[in-house]
């Protein structure tokens, strides 16, 4: 596995090495030891969540309150998504900056999103099966969210307006500047 720090260095792109033969291919999708060695701290994933999504679905932007914040490792088992992470750490030089990248079952890339970031994705293929490893269990009522189409964030979800599919909850989230982030840049949340 190759690990790459992105423009916001806490966001990590994970690129596997595929091993092909006449049967197809195999790759190591996660190895705790090498992953934690690269990060320099330990992330203990405790749950895998899988979602099936249709073209045009936009999920996000979400995080959790401080005591229930989650790190995520996002991968796509079938299809293609635009995965988005937004720096939500007050005082960060990249506070409010969004990073987006295509993850697919063809490129087999994964995105690690640490605690302190908002996360969302849009579905670019007819369907997508998305798997997200998390390091803390879901806590009902602890979600924080920001409107996906916030003008300040200016995220191009690559979905025509007429094709967007959102939950009622995501449609009614607040603007970025209306949501108080509990995360402070430079603090260790692990």
DSSP string computed for 149-166: T-TTT----SS-GGG-B-
Please report the beta strands in the chain, taking only residues with DSSP state E, as ranges in sequence order. 2-5, 12-15, 19-21, 24-26, 47-54, 58-64, 72-78, 80-87, 89-90, 98-104, 110-113, 117-123, 127-134, 143-145, 183-184
pTM value surpassing 0.75? yes
**What are the φ and ψ backbone dihedral angles of 89, each rounded to 5 degrees?**
-100, 110
* pLDDT (tens digit per residue) in 5-22: 999 999 999 999 889 899
The SS3 assignment for 57 reads strand
In this structure, the strands spanning 24-26 and 2-5 are unpaired
What six digits make up the tokens of 30?
């996660």
Q: Is the peptide bond before 61 cis (omega within 30 degrees of 0)?
A: yes
Which single residue is written with the structure tokens 């203990």?
Answer: 44
The SS3 assignment for 48 reads strand
Number of other residues whose CB lies within 10 A of the CB of residue 10: 19
* pLDDT (tens digit per residue) in 159-188: 999 999 999 999 999 999 999 999 999 998
* pLDDT (tens digit per residue) in 75-123: 999 999 999 999 999 999 999 999 999 999 999 999 999 999 999 999 9
User: Per-residue DSSP letters for 162-179?
Assistant: GG-B--HHHHTPBPGGGS
């Amino acid at each position: 596995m190759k690990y790459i720090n992105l423009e916001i260095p806490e966001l990590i792109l994970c690129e596997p090495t595929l091993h092909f033969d006449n049967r197809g291919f195999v790759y190591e999708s996660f190895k705790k030891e090498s992953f934690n060695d690269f990060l320099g701290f330990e992330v203990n994933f405790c749950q895998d969540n899988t979602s099936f999504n249709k073209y045009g679905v936009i999920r996000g932007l979400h995080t959790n309150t401080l005591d229930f914040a989650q790190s995520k490792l996002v991968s796509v088992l079938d299809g293609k998504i635009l995965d988005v992470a937004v720096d939500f750490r007050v005082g960060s030089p990249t506070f409010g900056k969004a990073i987006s990248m295509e993850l697919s079952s063809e490129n087999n890339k994964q995105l690690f999103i640490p605690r302190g970031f908002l996360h969302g994705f849009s579905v670019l293929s007819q369907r997508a099966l998305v798997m997200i490893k998390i390091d803390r269990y879901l806590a009902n009522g602890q979600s924080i969210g920001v409107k996906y189409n916030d003008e300040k964030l200016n995220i191009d979800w690559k979905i025509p307006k007429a094709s967007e599919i959102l939950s009622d909850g995501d449609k009614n989230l607040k603007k970025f500047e209306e949501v108080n982030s509990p995360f402070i840049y430079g603090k260790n949340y692990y």
